[in-house]
């Protein structure tokens, strides 16, 4: 199936995959070829994992947006997204430690946590 991971500012990744896993407000979804069409809202600070047809895993931290499945195409339309290999683990840990309190603290904490999860690190 064709997969496209797009953020507001750029196309993050596109290619062919055998599966896609995403965290939505309804729970974690697993999408395989031939999946029923659906539209899901991504959680703030979630993870999307794509298994490519070459059996590689592409992992991204995503921040809000939607997942759309139609026919043999999956579109992940995020407000912002970062591939795991683009993430600086120390910067993510520092952001988490410095999140503090306030109106933006939850968002900063969610983004830092998603970045660490995308790297396979526990929080």
pLDDT digits (tens, 9 = 90+) for 30-89: 999 999 999 999 998 899 999 999 999 999 999 999 999 998 999 999 999 999 999 989
Q: How far apart are CA 120 and CA 123, in angstroms?
A: 10
Q: What is the pLDDT of residue 101?
A: 67
Give yes or no for residue 5 having a pLDDT over 90.
yes
Tens digits of per-residue pLDDT, 97-118? 887 766 677 788 888 888 989 9
What domains can you pick out in the chain, each with its CATH number?
2-83 (2.60.15.10), 86-118 (no CATH)
Whole-angstrom distance between the N-terminal and C-terminal Cα of the chain? 32
CB 72 within 8 A of CB 33: yes
**More confident of the two residues 15 and 101:** 15
């Amino acid at each position: 199936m064709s997969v496209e991971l797009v953020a507001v500012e750029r196309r993050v990744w596109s290619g062919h995959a055998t599966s896609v896993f995403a965290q939505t407000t309804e729970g974690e979804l697993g999408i395989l070829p031939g999946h029923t069409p659906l539209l899901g809202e991504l959680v703030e600070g979630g993870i999307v994992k794509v298994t490519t047809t070459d059996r590689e895993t592409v992992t991204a931290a995503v921040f809000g947006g939607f997942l759309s499945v139609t026919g043999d195409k999956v579109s992940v339309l995020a407000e912002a997204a970062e591939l795991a290999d683009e993430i600086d683990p120390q910067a993510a840990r520092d952001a988490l430690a410095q999140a503090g309190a306030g109106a933006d603290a939850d968002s900063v904490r969610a983004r830092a946590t998603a970045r660490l999860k995308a790297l396979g690190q526990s929080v």
